[in-house]
Amino acid sequence: MGAVFACNGGPTSATQAPRTLYVSPSGSDQNDGSIAAPQLTLRYAVAQLHAGDTLYMRGGTYTGGVNAVDSQAGTVRSGTSWSNPITIAGYPGEMVTLLPPHNVSGIRLTTGGPAYLVFQDFTIDMANSTAGDTAAAIFADVAHHNRFQRLTVENGPTFGIHFASTSSFNEVLDCRIHDNGLAGGDATNGHGLYVSSSDNLFDANEVHDNQGYGLHLYNNAGPLTVARNIIRNNKFYGNGRHGGTAYGLVIAWGSANVVTNNLVYANPGGIQVYTDSVDALVSTNTVYGNRPLEGILIQFATATVVKDNVVYDNGVDIADLGNGSVLSNNGPPR
């Protein structure tokens, strides 16, 4: 049986071994994508990828809409599993920055429900976006099982990372997410991460100096639509720069979300568990120096468990205004 070819002229993933391709600001889309002859634009290079392939971006700054990963504007295929993903990465040891035009996301995963994509080792700088622009640096809608790893996400006009309610089972690992939101902007905007979906993992990230919250779990579609997210081993500091009731971390919605082993400090407030949260677990976090607000605030949430946290030197260390809260073994260092 002869080979089956896709519309871009390359063999489909069913008929080819995994490949490593390259793109460079000094390349050409007429090249074969080898390390000696890299392609030029992300839109073209990403469209060549199939499950199992890896695309390395050589060092430099990638500008223009053709240098965003955008499933609405170009072809973005999916991997088939975590053992057979598509990987898009900065070349080891080289500085790679995506600098999209105003109001264009660096990564937008929507059309086609992209899945099993791994993005790692580069920066998305949204400095070209200005007041009135709404594009997040990373936006996922109907996209699932994607991994964002060792990325720097900065200068977004609204959110650094936004997962819509249909985008679950995604992972944000070891990323630096900072300086998102515009000074003087709406107090409900400018969050480092804004998450409206379930079953996501946020591990070992550094989230700081965002105008709004560091991370906000919220979705007004219903309390069970933001469930079972795990937030662990992160640092949240210096967020809430626009003032108001700005916390490093807010669990405002959903069921059975877990906040564990995080370091939360130097925000106006530390951790807030809010009205439409049910069965949240807040454990083994270190929360200090959040002023003038609370280190941990349970505000109208139901059945919140707060245990084994080190909490000290906040405006108020712990305030329980919840329904059926369980608090145990929280306090200053011993």
Q: What is the reported pLDDT for 137?
A: 98
The half-sphere exposure of 181 on its side-chain side, counting CA atoms within 13 A, is 29
Give pLDDT tens digits for 197-255. Answer: 999 999 999 999 999 999 999 997 755 589 999 999 999 999 999 877 789 999 999 99
Tally of CB atoms within 10 A around 22: 21
Contacts 24+ apart (CB under 8 A), 80-85: 80/13, 80/51, 80/116, 81/116, 82/116, 82/145, 82/147, 84/51, 84/52, 84/116, 85/51, 85/52, 85/116, 85/117, 85/118, 85/147
Topology of domain 158-328 in CATH is: Pectate Lyase C-like (2.160.20)
Tokens of 140: 């996922």
Section 96-123 average pLDDT: 98
CA gap 40, 43 in Å, rounded: 9
Which residue carries 């084994």 as its tokens? 308
Antiparallel, parallel or unpaired: β 96-99 and 60-63:
parallel
Tally of CB atoms within 10 A around 288: 20
CA gap 62, 326 in Å, rounded: 50
Give pLDDT tens digits for 51-94. Answer: 999 999 999 999 999 999 999 999 999 999 999 999 999 999 99
Q: What is the reported pLDDT for 12?
A: 45
